[in-house]
Amino acid sequence: MRRFGFRRERVILHAGMGKESFLLLFVVGAGAIAAWIALRLPKLAPSSFRGGTAHLLATLVVGLLLGPAVRAVPGLPSTPSIMAALFLLALPAITYMLLVGMWLIQLAAAASPARR
Instruction: Note the pLDDT tens digit of each residue in 2-16.
Output: 556 666 666 665 667
Phi, psi of 64 (to 5 degrees): -70, -35
What pLDDT score does 91 carry? Answer: 96
CA distance 64 to 58: 10
Entry pTM: 0.80
Q: How many domains are there within the chain?
A: 1
Residue 90 domain-assigned? yes
pLDDT at residue 24 in the model: 95
Least confident of 1-5, 14-18, 61-65: 1-5
How large is the average pLDDT for residues 91-113? 94
Q: Residue 70 has what pLDDT?
A: 84
The pLDDT of residue 48 is above 90: yes
> Is 65 inside a domain boundary?
yes
Residue 116 lies in a domain: no
Pairing label, strands 2-3, 6-7: antiparallel
* More confident call, 57 vs 75: 57
Burial of residue 34 (CB within 10 Å: 0-12, 13-18, 19+) is buried
In a domain, 106, yes or no: yes
The parent domain of residue 21 ranges over 2-111
| Whether residue 116 has pLDDT greater than 60 | no
Calculate helix-pair angle for 91-111, 19-40, nearest 10 degrees. Answer: 50
15 lies in some domain: yes
